[in-house]
Amino acid sequence: MRTPKTAPLALTLALAAGLSACIVLVDAEHHEHDRDARSGSAEPAGPAQVAPPAAVEAAEEERPYLLERVDEVGIIQLYADGFEGLSLREKKLVWHLYQAALAGREIYMQQRCAEGLDIRDLCEEILVHPEGVDPATVEAVRHYLKLFWINNSPYAYTTARKYVMKGTDAAALTAAATTAAAHGAHLPLAADETPATLVARLAPMLFDPAYKPIVTDKNPRDGSDPLQSSAMTYYGPGVTMADVDAFEEHYQLNSNLVRGADGKLTEQVWRTGLAEENIPAGLYADELNAVIGHLEEAMPFATAPMQKALAAQVRFYRTGERADRVAYDVAWVADGHSTVDTINGFIEVYVDPRGKKGGWESLVFYEDPKKAELIKKIADNAQWFEDHMPFPDLYKKKKVKGVTARSIDVVVETGDSGPVTPIGINLPNDNAVREQYGSKSVSLANVIEAYDKASGSTVAEFAWDEAEVARSEKWGSLVGDLLTNMHEVIGHASGRMSDENQGVDPSSLLKENTSALEEGRSDLVGLYFMMDPKLKELGLLDDPEEAALAAYERYVRNGAMQQLRRIAEGNQIEEDHMRNRQMVVRWIEAHSTAIEERHRDGKTYFVVTDAGAFREAAGRLLALCQTLKSTGDYQGTKDLFDTYGRNFDEALRDEVIARYAKLDTPAYSGFVQPRLTPVYDANGGLADVEISYPLSIEQQMLEWSGRAQAPN
Ligand SMILES: [Zn+2]
């Protein structure tokens, strides 16, 4: 499963549901977690900051993040700075895995939309053969393609609804296709098709909003069958929920269910086949063979545990058998230490209305050595932090061990994981494997950073003055990382139950407030130590005083105001992390002089006036929260959240929503991935791999489909 990006920036560690401790994050506007939405608002810059595609012209060392805006979508460049620091062997490994990621991405386009590939090829061919075509039609095609590229289909990730082509019509598109073909365009013509009949075949998909309007419709409003109402291609024409319920699937994760010539359901397995075991080829055999070829080229450069995982996945792609997929899951989880890693397979099931079939995806990533060092430094000092917690010794652990989670940089994400990307991933999804072998959790650090850098306007809107904005720009990413890591590595691992409650599960005592209290406690650990000279001593912060102020301001902006935008209805906070953040801010406001509510031009601001007082109050509140937890004080915990965490002022919420509306933030964002280029020696051997950044979704997608060359 994955953690989508949902709110303003997000620094989330995606830990699975069902894992006890933390499902999330720590920080202010930047940490959100929401399992329901698949991907959320990206909060790139408001109108004032929106950079044109040629954002390169920005200040010299400033590299562009937000490249452009296409309707409600932001397009952001992803950077993988640590790639240069990998060994040559690792770079070669990444190169082959990157190729494997590109080789399978068209599987996912076909899974999302039956006409998807033909539509893409028609439109891209017109785009690269514009001679003699009406420029307005070319622009309409380009605009439509950008939405298609970001979503691997005509369907928006966020709403599952279809985009239609605007600014042209079927007649103009037919003329464009005909002219392009005359200039050498290779159109995806079926047998006996002409450019005109091709466009006629695709026209309902392209222009008719009522034709296959939704990719995944789990609960059709008119009560019709979910499989019939959904455009995804896992189920053939006429196949209904009742049909599937009455059918026993052998390949639940990896097959299409279609009606055979005899009218009975049959499974089209996604596999290449394996002649020596008499396993016939299935659907997507060509694409999977290409993926396998690259995975096999990668193996000589992989670590031993990774080789085992890659070999297991190759076998699964050939046989399609569940047992082989389980073997891959197990081998993948066992590979917990390789610097470079990949996810390549039929993984997430969000596109299937039944939640069974896996969308194809691939990610290639490496552990960011600098961030790994940061987490390690914190974890290595877990006992020091425990000993210096501002709560009674009675509730401290004598021996504490920091928890580690991996922070990674992504080099490429395709299929179900890109260009719209999660910010955290926890796999495998197979519960039986998780219980027996565990799982791997990663936080996509460079994705989070890019979201962070692409935004900006919300800070300006909710910060009291320029100095606060400047502090946020200077410290935002760093304190965000630190708070997350302190929360995860130290916070959740700290503290012990009272002597009377040893061995008692806190949730049996604290009930519905267990999670909110635990998340608040962990946030407070991060907030309390943020200002501690120890962080400077460890080399984590060179100016803890200013950094802490930036961290507190960020936390307060979110906890008191910004997060309210997500609760359009009612006046109660249900979600545990949101509840804990408001509790922390409102308690500190009530019990110290650290926070002042101010008003200017009809707008509300929460200003941190004294970082030292904030820290002192955070320490007192941490002691209170730890005591409530250790003693299992149900009533005390309930009172705390009822007073400070649960309810909010609807007028303030309305104000926040109105202020956001003016910022015109994108509903979601897609990422342009880094470009890898192989360098060959005189004998044609792979000598090196270079990384660069296309800064254009159009350039990248045309390179990937072979219709454009990378510049030299
Ligand atoms: Zn947590």
**SS (HEC) of 183-210:** CCCCCCCCCCCCHHHHHHHHHHHHHCCC
> Residue 496 C-alpha to ligand 1 middle, in angstroms?
16
215, 254, 209: which is closest to 116 by C-alpha?
215
Query: What's the rounded Cα separation, in Å, for the pair 559 and 577?
Result: 10
Give residue 622 CA to ligand 1 midpoint distance, Å: 14
What's residue 658's pLDDT? Answer: 93
| Single residue among 629, 648, 663 that ends a domain in this structure | 663
**Confidence class of residue 198 from pLDDT cuts 50, 70 and 90?**
very high
Q: What number of other Cβ atoms are within 10 A of residue 398's Cβ?
A: 9
pLDDT surpasses 50 at 37: no
The confidence band for 661, taking pLDDT boundaries of 50, 70 and 90, is confident
Dist. CA 177 → ligand 1 center (Å) = 54
d(CA 338, CA 35): 28
* Peptide bond preceding 428 in cis form (omega within 30 of 0): yes
In the reported structure, the alpha carbon of residue 436 is separated from the centroid of ligand 1 by a whole-number distance in angstroms of 23
Distance 658 CA to ligand 1 centre (A): 30
Same domain, 26 and 146: no
- Give 9's pLDDT tier (boundaries 50, 70, 90): very low
Cis amide leading into 419 (omega within 30):
yes
The rounded Å distance from CA 132 to ligand 1 centre is 58
Determine the distance separating the centroid of ligand 1 and the alpha carbon of 493, expressed in angstroms.
10
For ligand 1, the distance from its centroid to the CA atom of residue 413, given in whole angstroms, is 26
- Report whether pLDDT(523) > 50: yes
Sorted by sequence, the CB contacts under 8 Å of residue 221 that are 6+ apart come out as none
Same domain, 610 and 514: yes
Per-residue pLDDT, averaged over 626-637, amounts to 97
Same domain assignment for residues 53 and 121: no
By 3-state DSSP, what share of the chain in percent is helix, strand and coil, each rounded to 5? 50, 15, 40
In a domain, 328, yes or no: no
Please check whether residues 60 and 149 belong to one and the same domain.
no
Average pLDDT over residues 169-178: 98
In a domain, 531, yes or no: yes
For residue 426, is pLDDT > 90?
A: no
Q: How far is the CA of 333 from the centre of ligand 1 (A)?
A: 22
Beta strands in 215-358 (DSSP E): 255-259, 265-269, 340-348
List phi, psi (to 5°) of 597: -90, 125
Average of per-residue pLDDT across 578-598 = 97
- Interval between CA 574 and ligand 1 midpoint (Å): 16
Please indicate, yes or no, if residue 42 is contained in any of the structural domains. Answer: yes
Residues 454 and 597 in one domain: yes
Strands 603-608 and 255-259, by their bridges, are unpaired
- Token digits for 539? 């080399």
Q: Is the pLDDT of residue 1 over 90?
A: no
* Distance in angstroms (rounded) separating the CA atoms of residues 276 and 289: 16
Quote the ligand 1 centre to 243 CA distance (angstroms).
42
Q: Are residues 61 and 141 in the same domain?
A: no
User: What distance in angstroms lies between residue 21's CA and the mean position of ligand 1's atoms?
Assistant: 6
User: Looking at the predicted structure, is the pLDDT value of residue 140 above 90?
Assistant: yes
Segment 563-588 shows an average pLDDT of 89
Please say if the pLDDT value at position 543 is more than 80: yes
Mind listing the pLDDT tens digit for each residue in 447-490?
988 988 887 668 999 999 999 999 998 998 889 888 988 888 89
Identify the weakest region by mean pLDDT among 34-43, 170-179, 342-351, 399-408: 34-43
Instruction: Please state the separation of Cα 115 from the chain's center in Å.
Output: 26
CA-nearest of 333, 326, 537, 560 to 464 is 560
pLDDT at 324 over 60: yes
210 CA to centre of ligand 1 in angstroms: 43
507-534 mean pLDDT:
93
Give 57-115 as a DSSP string: GSSSS---SEEEEETTEEEEE---GGGGGS-HHHHHHHHHHHHHHHHTHHHHHHHH-TT
> What angle, rounded to 10 degrees, do the helices at 634-644 and 514-530 form?
70
- Ligand 1 center to 18 CA (angstroms): 13
Q: Is residue 338 part of a domain?
A: no
Give 263's contacts (C-beta < 8 A, 6+ positions apart).
none
pLDDT tens per residue across span 222-255: 889 999 999 999 999 999 999 999 999 999 999 9
Tell me if 679 is assigned to some domain. no
Span 583-612, average pLDDT: 97
Residue 579 Cα to ligand 1 midpoint, Å, equals 13
pLDDT of residue 403: 66
Same domain, 531 and 593: yes
Gap from CA of 488 to ligand 1 centroid (Å): 6
Spatial contact of 30 and 41, defined as CB atoms under 8 Å apart: no
For the cut 50, the answer to whether the pLDDT of residue 259 exceeds it is: yes
Q: How far is the CA of 522 from the centre of ligand 1 (A)?
A: 6
CB 318 within 8 A of CB 274: yes
Q: How far is the CA of 25 from the centre of ligand 1 (A)?
A: 5
Structure-model confidence comparison of residues 35 and 251, the more confident one: 251
Split into its structural domains, the chain has a count of 2
Q: Looking at the predicted structure, is the pLDDT value of residue 32 above 70?
A: no
Domain shared by 498 and 626, yes or no: yes
Tell me how far the alpha carbon of residue 259 lies from the centroid of ligand 1, in angstroms: 47
Rounded distance from Cα 487 to ligand 1 centre (Å): 6
Q: What is the mean pLDDT of residues 294-298?
A: 98
pLDDT recorded at residue 193: 97
Distance from residue 486's CA to the centre of ligand 1 (Å): 10
**How remote is the CA of residue 340 from the centroid of ligand 1, in Å?**
26
CA of 492 to the centre of ligand 1 (A): 7
Q: Is residue 711 part of a domain?
A: no
Tell me how far the alpha carbon of residue 583 lies from the centroid of ligand 1, in angstroms: 15
Could you give the dihedral angle defined by the CA atoms of residues 177, 182, 185 and 189, in that order, rounded to the nearest 10 degrees?
60
Task: Find the helix or strand (DSSP H, E) in which 326 lies.
Answer: helix 322-334
Q: Distance between alpha carbon 615 and the CA centroid of its chain, in Å? A: 32
Please state, in angstroms and rounded to a whole number, the distance separating the CA atoms of residues 644 and 40: 27
Span from the CA of 694 to the centroid of ligand 1 (angstroms) = 36
How many Å lie between the centroid of ligand 1 and the Cα of residue 208? 45
**59 CA distance to ligand 1 middle (Å):** 38
How many angstroms is it from 23 CA to the middle of ligand 1? 5
Cα separation of 606 and 648, whole Å? 15
Question: Ligand 1 centroid to 407 CA: how many Å?
Answer: 16
Cα–Cα distance for residue pair 350/420, rounded to 1 Å = 14
* Residue 13 CB-half CA count within 13 A: 30
Task: Quote the ligand 1 centre to 628 CA distance (angstroms).
Answer: 17
Domain end point (choices 159, 189, 214): 214
pLDDT given for residue 5 in this prediction:
64
Strands (E), 179-317: 255-259, 265-269
- Mean pLDDT, range 502-508, rounded to an integer: 87
Average pLDDT along the chain: 88
Q: Tell me which residue has tokens 């635990």.
A: 518
Structural domain boundaries, residue 28: 2-78+421-663
User: In the predicted model, is pLDDT for residue 7 greater than 60?
Assistant: no
CB contact burial 78-100 (16+ within 10 A = b; e otherwise): bbbebbeebeeebbbbbbbbbbb
Examine the pLDDT at 114 and tell me if it is beyond 90: yes
**Centroid of ligand 1 to alpha carbon of 632 (angstroms):** 19
- Please state, in angstroms and rounded to a whole number, the distance separating the CA atoms of residues 696 and 534: 43
Count of CA atoms in the C-beta half-sphere (13 A) of 588: 37
Classify residue 606: in a domain, yes or no.
Answer: yes
Measured in Å, residue 337 CA sits from the centre of ligand 1 at 23
Q: Whole-angstrom Cα distance, residue 148 to residue 371?
A: 34
Q: Identify the pLDDT of residue 642.
A: 95
Which among 526, 419, 398, 386 has a CA at the least distance from the CA of 149?
419
513 and 575 together in one domain: yes
Residue 26 Cα, ligand 1 centroid: separation in angstroms? 7
Alpha carbon of 429 to ligand 1 centroid (Å): 21
Tell how far the Cα of 513 is from the centroid of ligand 1, in angstroms: 14
Distance 489 CA to ligand 1 centre (A): 10
- E strand residue ranges, 321-358: 340-348
Domain termination residue (choose one: 170, 196, 214) = 214
Predicted local distance difference test score (pLDDT) of residue 373? 81
Q: Which residue has the tokens 């080229």?
A: 297
- Are both 119 and 65 inside the same structural domain? no
Ligand 1 centroid distance, CA of 15 (Å):
9
Res. 44: pLDDT tops 80: no
Give the distance (Å) from ligand 1 centre to CA of residue 443.
13
CA–CA dist 220, 278 (Å, integer): 42
Structure token digits, residue 17? 């549901």
Ligand 1 centre to CA of 29 (Å) is 15
Query: Which tokens go with 387?
Result: 């000993």
Q: For residue 76, report the distance from its CA to the centre of ligand 1, in Å.
A: 28
CA of 204 to the centre of ligand 1 (A): 47
Cα 109 to Cα 168, 209, 446: the distances in Å are 24, 19, 25
Q: How far is the CA of 630 from the centre of ligand 1 (A)?
A: 17
> Could you count the other beta carbons within 10 Å of the beta carbon of residue 242?
10
Q: How far is the CA of 576 from the centre of ligand 1 (A)?
A: 10
Q: Are both 141 and 47 inside the same structural domain?
A: no
> Most confidently modeled of 54-68, 467-481, 624-638?
624-638
- Using 50, 70 and 90 to split pLDDT, how confident is the model at 3? low
Q: What percent of the chain has pLDDT over 70?
A: 90
CA of 24 to the centre of ligand 1 (A): 5
- Spacing of C-alpha 442 from chain mean position: 11
For 585-614, b/e burial (b = at least 16 CB within 10 A) is bbbbbebbebbeeeeeeeebbbbbebbebb
Q: Residue 424: in which H helix or E strand, if any?
A: strand 424-427
User: Which H/E stretch holds residue 669?
Assistant: strand 668-672
- pLDDT tens readout for residues 684-696: 999 999 999 999 9
In a domain, 525, yes or no: yes
pLDDT tops 80 at residue 595: yes
Question: DSSP secondary-structure letter at 274?
Answer: B
For Cα atoms 570, 572, 577, give the angle at the middle one, nearest 5 degrees: 130
Residues 457 and 582 in one domain: yes
Model confidence at 641, in pLDDT bands (50, 70, 90)? very high
